[in-house]
């Protein structure tokens, strides 16, 4: 993964900057500094970005945008707060509409001070972010290879992490189903998810204190509805989903004899995966918009 060092891709977002820091950021791309000759690419797509570079203080409107962009970026990723405003709120931090720096919304890895931050300092911050990225990548790789995942029951305190994982894990479905409004896991709110804890059992997979997988089941008499078996994309293909499914099924009372689940008709990979885990298709129902809902079932062994 030497690609990080050779060509980090950057996503630049102006949270509510006075434009001073943005001009300095763009100056890094002009012929005087020309960071592109070093392989640094300014991309507009969060799904292609390694480094999230944020300028300006955070206000109520930019909060959700920052979170949304951050969640769409693949792991590993690094965040650079550029300028006093992005670091702490700067001269605007006591304004009625400013909530502070970027680290109040997402974790920040590198702080570049200055008002405005100078291009040399911004380039220095990006170089530091590349080191952070390489470190994160090494840590993730070693954890993933050793599969040190621990499987535990989840509680309501895990809800924010589960929701963040859910938004990452289901992001691919957005294109498949024509927008996030058609993918319930992408529009679920934190209060809704927290409210599920009363009736629904949750299990989580944790690697080094970080939640990387989750599954849930809603028991109903002798059957249970199993849903949202999800694993962070970086940890997929290592048997963690299979283990989560086993854990959630085991966690249910023994009088639950039937496990039921359902997937969208276009989610062929998920359907095939469930069939490999012993689930059988029992019903295909029409579902809006222009889709079907496939119901699967498995009896307790």
Q: Examine residue 246 and tell whether it contacts ligand SF4 (CB under 6 A).
A: no
- The answer to whether 83 contacts ligand SF4 (rule: CB under 6 A) is yes
Task: Say whether residue 84 binds ligand SF4 (CB under 6 A).
Answer: yes
Report the relative pairing of strands 258-264 and 9-14 from DSSP bridges: unpaired
Please state, in angstroms and rounded to a whole number, the distance separating the CA atoms of residues 111 and 246.
43
* Closest distance to ligand SF4 from the beta carbon of 23 (Å): 8
DSSP 185-237: HHH--HHHHHHHTTT-EEEEEEETTEEEEEEEEEEETTEEEEEEEEE-GGGTT
Shorter beta-carbon distance to ligand SF4: residue 91 or 172:
91
Nearer to ligand SF4, 14 or 180 (CB): 14
Q: Is residue 85 a contact point for ligand SF4 (CB under 6 A)?
A: yes
Q: Is 58 in the site for ligand SF4 (CB under 6 A)?
A: no
Residue corresponding to tokens 């008499």: 221
Q: For ligand SF4, which residue of 25, 40, 51, 55 counts as binding (CB under 6 A)?
A: 55
Position 90 contacts ligand SF4 (CB under 6 A): yes
- Of residues 91-130, those binding ligand SF4 (CB under 6 A): 91, 115-116
- Measured between alpha carbons, how far is residue 161 from residues 69, 155, 156, 157, 271 in Å? 16, 11, 10, 8, 25
Burial of 251 from C-beta contacts in 10 A (0-12 / 13-18 / 19+): middle
Q: What's the N-to-C CA distance of the chain in angstroms?
A: 43
Nearer to ligand SF4, 83 or 264 (CB): 83
| Residue 137, CA distances (Å) to 76, 130, 140, 261 in order | 6, 10, 5, 34
Residues 11-30 binding ligand SF4 (CB under 6 A) are 17-18, 20-21
Q: Which is nearer to ligand SF4, 115 or 187 (CB)?
A: 115
Which of 63-91 are b and which e, b meaning 16 or more Cβ less than 10 Å from the residue's Cβ? beebeebbbbbebbbbbbbbbbbbbbbbe
Q: How many residues bind ligand SF4 (CB under 6 A)?
A: 13
Q: What residues from 164 to 193 belong to the interface with ligand SF4 (CB under 6 A)? A: none
Indicate whether 290 belongs to the interface with ligand SF4 (CB under 6 A): no
In the structure encoding, which two tokens stand for residue 279, read together?
């689930």
Which of 105, 244 has the CB closer to ligand SF4? 105
Q: Does residue 66 belong to the site contacting ligand SF4 (CB under 6 A)?
A: no
Residue with tokens 């295909």: 284
Find the shortest distance in angstroms from Cβ 249 to ligand SF4: 52
Nearest-CA neighbor of 109 among 79, 149, 141?
79
Measured from the CB of residue 95, what is the shortest distance to ligand SF4 in angstroms?
Answer: 11
**Which residue number, 18 or 162, has a Cβ lying nearer to ligand SF4?**
18
89 or 213: CB nearest ligand SF4: 89
Q: How far apart (Å, rounded) are the C-alpha atoms in residues 254 and 258?
A: 10
For ligand SF4, give the closer residue by CB, 56 or 241.
56
Q: Considering only the stretches 82-90, 131-139, 149-157, 252-260, report the one whose residues sit in contact with ligand SF4 under the rule CB under 6 A.
A: 82-90
Q: Report helix, strand or coil for 9.
A: strand
Task: Summarize as ranges the residues that interact with ligand SF4 (CB under 6 A).
Answer: 17-18, 20-21, 55-56, 83-85, 90-91, 115-116
């Amino acid at each position: 993964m030497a690609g990080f060092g050779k060509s980090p891709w950057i996503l630049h977002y102006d949270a509510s900057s006075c434009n001073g820091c943005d001009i300095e950021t763009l100056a890094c791309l002009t012929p005087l500094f020309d960071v592109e000759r070093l392989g640094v690419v300014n991309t507009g797509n969060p799904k292609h970005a390694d480094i999230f570079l944020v300028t300006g203080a955070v206000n109520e409107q930019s909060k959700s945008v920052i979170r949304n962009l951050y969640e769409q970026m693949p792991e590993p990723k690094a965040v650079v707060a550029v300028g006093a405003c992005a670091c702490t709120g700067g001269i605007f931090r006591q304004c009625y509409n400013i909530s502070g720096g970027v680290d109040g919304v997402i974790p920040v890895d590198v702080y570049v001070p200055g008002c405005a931050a100078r291009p040399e300092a911004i380039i220095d911050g990006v170089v530091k972010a590349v080191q952070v990225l390489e470190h994160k990548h090494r840590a993730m790789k070693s954890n993933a290879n050793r599969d040190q995942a621990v499987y535990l029951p989840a509680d309501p305190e895990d809800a924010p992490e589960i929701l963040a994982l859910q938004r990452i894990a289901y992001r691919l479905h957005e294109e498949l189903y024509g927008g996030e409004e058609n993918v319930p896991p992408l529009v679920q709110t934190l209060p809704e998810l927290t409210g599920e804890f009363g009736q629904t059992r949750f299990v989580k997979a944790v690697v080094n204190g970080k939640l990387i997988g989750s599954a849930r089941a809603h028991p109903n008499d002798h059957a249970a509805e199993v849903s949202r078996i999800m694993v962070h994309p970086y940890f997929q293909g290592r048997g963690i989903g299979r283990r989560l499914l086993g854990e959630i099924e085991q966690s249910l009372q023994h009088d639950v004899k039937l496990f039921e689940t359902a997937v969208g008709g276009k989610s062929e990979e998920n359907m095939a995966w469930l069939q490999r885990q012993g689930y059988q298709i029992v019903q295909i129902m029409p579902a809006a918009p222009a889709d079907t809902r496939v119901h699967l079932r498995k009896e307790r062994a």
